[in-house]
Amino acid sequence: MSRVKCPKCNKAERILKSGIVRNKQRFYCKDCNYHFIEASPKRKNNIVLKSNNDQISLQDIAAAAGVSTTTVSRALKDRTDISEKTKKFIKELANSMNYQPNMLAQSLVSRTTHTLGVIIPSLETTIFSTMLSGIQEEASRYGYRVIICTSNENQETEIANILGLMNNMIDGLLICHTIQTSTFEHIRIHMGKRIPIAQFYRVAIDLPITQILADDEVGAEEVTEYLIQKGCTRIAMLLGSKSLSITQKRFKGYQNILKKHGIKIDGKLLAYVDFSLEQVEKALDKWLKITPKIDAIISISDRSAVQIIRQLKKKKIKIPNQIRVFGFGNEFVGEIVEPQLSTFDTRIRVIGEEASRLLIEQIISGSREITSKLIPGKLVIRDSA
C-alpha cells in the first residue's frame, strides 16, 4: 500500500506504518523485521544523520537499532528484563552515537534534578565562599549539582531567590540568611512542600527546619575563659546584629564565663555593628576612652579583628601586652597580620559540608526529621592573645 521501500531488503510490499515519531513517520518491514524512518522531505537521504548541533535522543538510537525507545531506555538503565545481547548492542550503539541523556526530560518524569539550591549572602567574604566550597564538594560527592544565588545581605533578594529556585529546578534548598533577615514568613511558606529546606551558619533558631551551625556558645566560653586566665577583666566584645544567632550565642557564652568568675557585664564594653570599617572604628575609639581601661577585645569576625589590630598598632597600643585581641572564624588573614591573630576556629568548611550532607540525606530518605547540628570548633592561640 505504501510506496516506501525498506532500506534493507529494498521491497515495498510488506511495509507497515509504526507510528509517528518526532514528526517523522516510522515504518516497519515485516520481511526483514527492520524499523526505519521515512526520508524526511528536507533530507537528501534516509540515513539517520543528526547534525552535530542536535543531541542524540533515545528515539534516534531506537531508530538506528530498530527497536523501541522503551528497549533502549531499559538497556541503558541496566534493567533486568532485557536480553544481555540487546543490552550490549544498544549500549555500544549509544556510546558510538555519543548519546547523552536529556536531564530535563528525565527530571520532568522523575521529579528529581539532583540539584541543590544555595542562597548565601555574599561570595566575596571568605567564610561564605569557604562554606560554599564545603557544600559544593560534599554535594558533588553525592552526585548533586549546586545552584548558587547571592542575596547580597538583602532580604528582598533572599526572598526573590527562594521563589526563583522553588520551581522544580532543585531537590533541596540551603539558606544562610542575610544579616538583616528578621522575619521568616518567606521560609515558612515553603516549609510544607516536597522540597526540604535547611539553614546553615546564620539561622533562625526557632524555625522548625534542619539547621547546621557553629557551636558559638561554647566557642565564646572558651575564648572568654582563656582571656580571663590571662588576667583580663575588662573584655570588650564586638558583636553583629542582635537578631542573629551568632551574636546571641556568642554573647551568651561570654556572659556565662563572666558570671562564673563573678565579673559584672558592662554594657559599655559591648558594641553591635554591621562590620563596616566605620562602625568598627567608631566602636574601638569609644572603648579606648573608657575607664577602667579595657584589656581585651573579642571580635565576632576575624576580618574586623584584623582591622582592630591594625588600628591599635597605628595608635601605638601594644598587642597583646596592653590589649589582647581575639577573633572568630580562623580566616587566612589572621595568619598574615602582625601580631598573628588568636581566633576561634569555627570550622566553617565543615559547616558547609555537614549542611550539604544532612540536606541530601533528607532528600534521599524522604524524611523530614528536624535536626539541629552544632559543629564544634577549637581555639587557635597565636600572638595577639
Binding site for its own copies (CB under 8 A): 52-55, 100-105, 107-108, 113, 115, 122-124, 126, 129-130, 132-133, 136-137, 140, 145-150, 152, 163-169, 192-194, 306, 310, 332-333, 336-338, 349
Query: Which candidate, 374, 345, 368, 355, places its Cα nearest to that of 138?
Result: 355
Per-residue x/- mask for DNA, residues 88 to 127, rule CB under 7 A? -------------xx--xx-xxx-----------------
Is 158 or 225 the residue whose CB approaches its own copies more closely? 158
Is 165 an interacting residue with respect to DNA (CB under 7 A)? Answer: no
Question: Is residue 64 involved in binding DNA (CB under 7 A)?
Answer: no
CB of 345 to its own copies, least distance (A): 15
Selection from its own copies, DNA, none that 229 binds (CB < 5 to 8 A by kind) is none
Residue 174 or 227 having the CB closest to its own copies: 174
Q: How far apart are the first and last CA of the chain?
A: 94
Q: Which residues contact 261 (CB under 8 A, 6 or more apart)?
A: 228
Residue 2 CB partners (closer than 8 Å, separation 6+):
12, 15, 17, 27
CB of 28 to its own copies, least distance (A): 28
Which entry of DNA, its own copies, none binds 68, CB below 5 to 8 A by partner kind? DNA
- Secondary structure of 319-349 in HEC code, one letter for each residue: CCCCCEEEEECCCCHHHHCCCCCEEEECCHH
Q: Does 76 bind DNA (CB under 7 A)?
A: yes
Pick the closest to residue 36 from 49, 25, 44, 50 (CA basis).
Answer: 25
The length of the chain in residues reads 385
CA distance 165 to 231: 51
Give the containing element (helix H, strand E) for 172.
strand 172-175
Q: Which of 7, 12, 32, 59 binds DNA (CB under 7 A)?
A: 59
Helix, strand, coil shares, percent, the chain, to 5: 40, 20, 45
Strands 145-150 and 115-120: parallel
* Partner in contact with 186, chosen from DNA, its own copies, none, beta carbon below 5 to 8 Å by kind: none
Residue 104 or 264: which CB sits closer to DNA? 104
Which residue bears the cell 514528526? 23
Q: Is 34 in the site for DNA (CB under 7 A)?
A: no
What backbone phi and psi angles, to 5 degrees, belong to 173? Answer: -130, 135
**Calpha distance 92→86 (Å, rounded):** 10
CB atoms within 10 A of CB 101: 15
Rounded least distance, CB 108 to its own copies, Å:
5
- In the complex, minimum distance from the CB of residue 3 to its own copies, in angstroms, rounded to a whole number: 34
Residue number with CB closer to DNA (34 or 272)? 34
Sole binder of DNA in the list 7, 28, 114, 379 (CB under 7 A) = 28
Least separation in angstroms between CB 210 and its own copies: 18
Q: Which is nearer to its own copies, 12 or 148 (CB)?
A: 148
**Partner touching 77 among DNA, its own copies, none, CB below 5 to 8 Å by kind:** DNA
Least distance in angstroms from the C-beta of 206 to its own copies: 21
State the cell numbers at 126. Answer: 571568605
Instruction: Give the cell for residue 70.
Output: 522503551
For its own copies, the closer CB: 99 or 254: 99
> Pick from its own copies, DNA, none: which does 371 bind, CB < 5 to 8 A by kind?
none
**Closer residue to DNA, CB minimum distance, 81 or 369:** 81
Q: Which is nearer to DNA, 30 or 282 (CB)?
A: 30
What are the two backbone dihedrals, phi and then psi, of residue 130, each rounded to the nearest 5 degrees?
-70, -45
Residue 208 CB partners (closer than 8 Å, separation 6+): 191, 370
Q: Given the rule CB under 7 A, which residues bind DNA?
A: 18-23, 28, 35, 54-55, 57-59, 66-71, 73-74, 76-77, 80-83, 85-87, 101-102, 105-106, 108-110
